[in-house]
Structure 1
Amino acid sequence: MYLKEFEIRWSDIDANRHLANSAYLNFMSHTRMSFLMELGLDQASLAKEQIGPVVFYEHLYYFKEVFPGKPIKVSMEITGMSEDGKFFEFQHNFYTHKGENFAHCEMMGAWMDLKTRKLTALTNDFLFTFSGAEKAKVFRVLTKEDTRKFSKDPKDLEV
């Protein structure tokens, strides 16, 4: 499990004076990018290959309020990846300075070719690196069908 510590800043607080929902997203994004950078998938290497990560969804579950004054930690685990590395799934947990879990998130994303603006598999080097990273106990191999939880056809959404 990858873990990153954060200070709750004034700009991370909302009108209720607790951690704002947008701050959760920013902390998770920063944690993911720090993890990728440590794997060697930094901005320079991503720019060289002309690929970037895209988020399909982030399902966030809040358990308890958190306030400024004490650091928090955000974890990240790889819970799924397609065989070609195109699709990935991560989970995040948020912890107080005492180690109490106050939020959980499940997210799914993919890699995008920045020239064609279409989803793409990872290069062999990136796939080797990403595949070698530690996986969560609940890790699963993803398929394209795993990314299609909801239909795009409006008549399928009728009540």
Structure 2
Amino acid sequence: MYTKQFEIRWSDVDANRHLANSAYTNFMSHTRMAFLMEHGFTMKELAIHNIGPVVFYEHMHYFKEAFMGQPITVSLEVSGLSEDGKFFKFDHNFYNHKGENIAFCEMMGAWIDLRARKMTDLPDVLLDLANAFPKSENYKVLTKEDTRANGRAPKNLVL
């Protein structure tokens, strides 16, 4: 399991004086990018292939509060990849300074071609790196159907 430690700063708390939901998102994003960079998905490598990650969803579950000045640890486990590398799923857990699990998040995303602005498969060199990621116990090979909410595509809004 990959982990990253943070200290909760003044800018990370909300009006209730506990860790804001936006800070959870920022800490997860930082953890994901650090994980990817340490596994060969550097900014230079992504620029060479003109790709970037996008988030489809982040489902958060909060268990306990966290407060300013306290250290927290954010974990990352790879819980899914598609065969072509286009889709990925990560699980994050948050732990307080006592080691208590204070939140959990399941996130799913994809890679996009930054010129075409469309989802794209990973190039072979990055797919090889992704296939070597350490995987969680509940790891799954993802399909396009896994990217749909409850198995359905979103409905278009008509005004």
**TM-score, reference length from structure 1:** 0.95
CA distance in 2, matches of 1:30, 1:69: 19
Deviation at 1:118, TM superposition (A): 0.4
Which residue is equivalent to 2:53?
53
What's the CA shift string for 1:79-130, capped at 9, x where partnerless?
Answer: 0010000000010000011110000000000000001000000010100011
CA distance in 1, matches of 2:33, 2:155: 34
- Tell me, which stretches of 5 or more residues in structure 2 are unaligned? none
1:74 matched to 2:77? The reply is no
1:146 matched to 2:121? The reply is no
CA distance in 1, matches of 2:154, 2:84: 25
Which residue is equivalent to 1:123?
123
Please state whether the residue corresponding to 1:67 is helix, strand or coil: coil
One-letter amino acid of the structure 1 residue matched with residue 33 of structure 2: M
1:17 matched to 2:17? The reply is yes
Deviation at 1:152, TM superposition (A): 2.5
What's the CA shift string for 1:58-89, capped at 9, x where partnerless?
Answer: 00000011101221000000000100000000
Over the aligned positions, Cα root-mean-square deviation in angstroms equals 1.1
What's the CA shift string for 1:8-65, capped at 9, x where partnerless?
Answer: 1110010010000000000000000000000110111101110000000000000011
CA distance in 2, matches of 1:40, 1:61: 30
CA distance in 2, matches of 1:100, 1:152: 36
CA distance in 2, matches of 1:21, 1:107: 15
Equivalent residues, number? 155
Identity score, percent: 63
Which residue is equivalent to 2:27?
27
CA distance in 1, matches of 2:71, 2:142: 34
CA distance in 1, matches of 2:46, 2:56: 19
1:64 matched to 2:64? The reply is yes
CA distance in 2, matches of 1:141, 1:91: 15
CA distance in 2, matches of 1:47, 1:61: 34
CA distance in 2, matches of 1:37, 1:151: 32
- Tell me, which stretches of 5 or more residues in structure 1 are unaligned? none
Deviation at 1:154, TM superposition (A): 5.3
Structure 1: 4+ residue segments shifted above 3 A:
none
CA distance in 2, matches of 1:43, 1:129: 15
**TM-score, reference length from structure 2:** 0.95
